[in-house]
Structure formats: C-alpha cells, structure tokens
Structure 1
Amino acid sequence: MFVSTEEIIQAVIGDDVILPCHTVFDKNNSKVTWKHRDQIVHTYQYGKDCLTNQDTNFKNRTSLFHDEMTRGNLSLKLTNVTERDAGNYSCEVPEHPEHNITLVVERKPTKGPVHVTILYIGLSLGGLFIGALIGIVWKKYGNTSRCAGRDRRERNRAGIRESFPMRINMENPNDAAS
C-alpha cells in the first residue's frame, strides 16, 4: 500500500532535490523504477542499483537512500537540477499503485548591476546649517527593483550633527521605459 499521494515539488536550477516516494518494500526481492516522461531515471532491483537502461540526461545525478529502503523510503535524490528535469515523474513498484510527482524547475534570481547614487543637499539659514545625505541603492532582480535610502544627517542649533534613519521607496526609472 502506498503511503504518499501525488505531489508537486519545486527546485531551482543547479540545486539538488528529493522526489519523495514511500511504500512497503522488500529491499532484496523487490524492484523500484523511477521514470520521467517514460524514460528510465533510476532502477533498483535485487539489492542493487541497475543503471544500464538509465536515460543519459540523468547519468551520475541520481541516487536512492539505500539505508532507508527497508523502512519504505524509495525517494530519489536528483543532483544539479536542469531545466530539462522539469515535468512528471513516476515511482513504480510492482503490485503497488504508481506514485506521481511533478517537478517544477525555476531559474535562479538574476542579480543585475548595483547602481549607487549619492545626493547631498545643504541649506544655510541665518547660521543654522541643514544638510541631507542620501544614498540610494538600486538592485535589479528580474523585473523588480529595490531601492533603499541610507541616512539623513542634520545639525541642530548647537551645531551637533544628528542622524535620522530614513527609507526612500521609488521605482527604477529604467523599468518604466521597458
């Protein structure tokens, strides 16, 4: 009897992922076959891995948890995930229902160049100097921009510089042009 249900698993390109599968399993007399779009990803039979029919896309990137198989853990570890790995997988054990998993593969967030703009504004009124120092940092991540101001400084009447935390939210002007 299968303990698992159909699942959706997410992974990022280049990461490792575990595709879960649990059922009653006799490690020495049973067979488990993992498939992706009807291509063999990994086969374990009679106490050992049998990878002669393994799809070349998965060569040297799959493994099972041999020490946990007697407890029914037939999960597949897939290393260095690629875009081609996305899609439907099945964990097949004879005399048990097929267990299906959908792997969704996402790209790593791209980190664009960091743009720094420093703006200094000063004003002197009758011996009182008021100044502002603003550091604006733009980081472009895909279609979103993040902007944060760094600090604002003023001199009080005694001439002592005081700092006030400040955040500035603004859109990246380059995003509006795209």
Structure 2
Amino acid sequence: MLIAFNKPFNVLCQFTARSVPPRRTLAEFGLPPGVYAAGRLDHDSEGLLLLTDDGALAHRLTDPRHKQAKTYWVQVEGAPDEAKLDALRRGVLLNDGPTRPAQVALLETPPALWPRDPPVRHRKTVPDHWLALTISEGRNRQVRRMTAAVGLPTLRLVRVTIGNHALGDLQPGQWREVGR
C-alpha cells in the first residue's frame, strides 16, 4: 500500500511524540494501520509525504542511489536574481559538502495554496518570491540550507511531488491511496 498525505505545518513525520510538550503527529489523521513515512518532511515544512507498509518500496523511494526527484514550492525572502538562481542550478556548497545541481524556476505568481496557520510573517520593506525547486537528494533541511546559502532565506516550504507522485488537490491532513 502507498499513501499520499498532505502533511500540515508543525506536524511530525512520526506516529508518537517524544518531545515535551508533545507535538502533533501523524496519529491524528486516521491513516491506515501499519504504514510509516517513506522519508521525512520537517515539522515546519508542508505538503506531500508518502507512507507505505512495504519496506522495499520505502527503500526505493528514499535511497539516494535511486535519485527520486522531489519538487518544492519555496517562498523566499528577498529578490532572486539570475546569479542566485544559477548558483542553485549548479549546486551550492553546504557545511556537509556540495549539493547536486537543482532545477529552479521563478514562479511569476504565487501558487494557489491553503492558508498556513500561523501565517508566514510579512515584512513591508522586504519582498518575497516563490520558486519551484527540484532536487534529487534529501539531506537534512537541504532546501532551506540551499536557499539560505545564496541569500534567500526560506519563509514557507511545500513539497508538491516525489518522483511521479504529486500532491494534487489534497488539502492539509487529507490522504489517498496511490499506485506504486
């Protein structure tokens, strides 16, 4: 079984909270028993999370050797000029080494998304823009660290695809079974 789930903001990608105070977890969303997250999405990121009850499938989806492309819509603070976008396209040097090149496009209009709770802070004197950014690796907080490395701090991060699986019209907290 493979489940596509729209993980809300501030929800952990696990079924039990080990923190004090406890944080929200996947347990509250009525997911089928026996599934677990195939990969991670930070608690402060939103969007597509795949869950499965098949260990081999989870491995194919998450192992870096399989280079599953993951696309994110990223709201960044600042103005992304061509030099910054080209740096992301070439790959940037992070403290744990260089990243693989990314596919990056500036979105002309913000994507049609649900409101975030709490909302992203808005500063009148600093512009923000949206990028579509696709990577084929999955280091810890990689997209946030990549955009910060080129001077574009991430304000909101929404994963919209993993391989050939897309978020589609799922709203936060909703899920559906998908083909493998």
- Alignment TM class, shorter chain as reference: under 0.3
For the pair shown, the structure with the greater C-alpha radius of gyration is 1
Higher helix share: 2
Higher strand share: 1
Q: Which has the higher contact order (CA 8 A, sep 6+)?
A: 2
TM-score, length of structure 1 as denominator length: 0.27
